[in-house]
Amino acid sequence: MSTTVVDPYAGTPVSSRRQFLHGLNPLSKVAAVAPAMLLLIFVRDLATPAAFLAFASLVILVGARLNRRTAALLLLALPLGVLVIGFGFSLWVDAANVDSTAPVMQLGGWTLYSGAVEIGLATGLRLGAILALALIGGLTTTGPDLVRASVQQLGVPYRIGYTALAAFRFLPRFGHELSVIRAAHRVRGHHGGRGPFARIARGWGYIVPLLAGAIRHAERVALAMDSRAFGAHPTRTERHLVPFRARDWIFIALCLAASAAIFLTLTS
């Protein structure tokens, strides 16, 4: 009788050939967009970051598995955030530097000029484009795979990589512990009532049991790592490999070529 062992930390298998981003090495998705993200910091026009925002959104829509929340983030929240940030930054622009442009809004002695709006939108588009490029890897990469790729391809010591990953996994554990503590307090009628003072009292009562649960979890993780001789040797055998394939090089080359074409076309 054979038994199939499933790796609980392995990434979700690719369900379609069109969703190619999930099958790429995490480092390739970082290397493909990092130069463009760096150069976007120094551009000041509107067209270049807008083109990168559209390019990154197209890559995500074609190559990633999107649920409703992720699609809403990409198609609604991100453009709305660009507009809000752009308008907010336009209010901070010194009017003396743009008073030669056409006025857009005037309230009493304060005037909003079109030059200030353009500067604010350029800033918002830059931030939105950088975020969209980062989402290419962020939406299609798991934390364990990124750590494995860093250890296997970049030579990051596994003591650092997997220790950081273990610390990162404390966050969802804290959320679970907090939900259990809240349920237990509600069952016991502890710190009932409404209003800000009752909420503060309830929050204060969560601190001690949450710290106790965190200490217990840390002890279990430490014992599990010691039982597997974590840190006893300079290298470890990897159970789950994250190879760097030819398709990763092709993806990097295509993204760099597209980025260069956008920069050369719109900034020349």
Q: What are 116-134's pLDDT values in tens digits? A: 999 999 999 999 999 999 9
- State residue 120 phi and psi, 5-degree precision: -65, -45
Q: How confident is the model at residue 198 (pLDDT cuts 50, 70, 90)?
A: low
Residue 5 has pLDDT above 90, yes or no: no
Size of the chain, expressed as the number of residues it contains = 268
Distance CA 168, CA 229 (A): 21
How distant, in Å, are the alpha carbons of 169, 181, 200, 246 from that of 207? Answer: 19, 10, 11, 50
CB 182 within 8 A of CB 157: no
Q: How confident is the model at residue 9 (pLDDT cuts 50, 70, 90)?
A: very low
Global confidence as pTM: 0.78
Distance CA 248, CA 236 (A): 25
Residue 30 has pLDDT above 70, yes or no: yes
pLDDT reported for residue 7: 44
pLDDT reported for residue 139: 92
Q: How confident is the model at residue 268 (pLDDT cuts 50, 70, 90)?
A: low
Residue 224 has pLDDT above 90, yes or no: no
Q: Which of 118-122, 215-219, 220-224, 232-236 has the highest average model confidence (pLDDT)?
A: 118-122
* Average pLDDT, rounded, for the chain: 84
Relative orientation angle of helices 26-40 and 114-138, to the nearest 10 degrees: 170
pLDDT reported for residue 19: 84
Residue 36 has pLDDT above 60, yes or no: yes
pLDDT digits (tens, 9 = 90+) for 245-254: 999 999 999 9
pLDDT reported for residue 195: 65
Choice between 117 and 162, residue whose per-residue pLDDT is larger: 117
| % pLDDT > 70, the chain | 88
Domain edges within the chain = 20-141+241-266, 153-227
Choice between 93 and 235, residue whose per-residue pLDDT is larger: 93
| % pLDDT > 90, the chain | 40
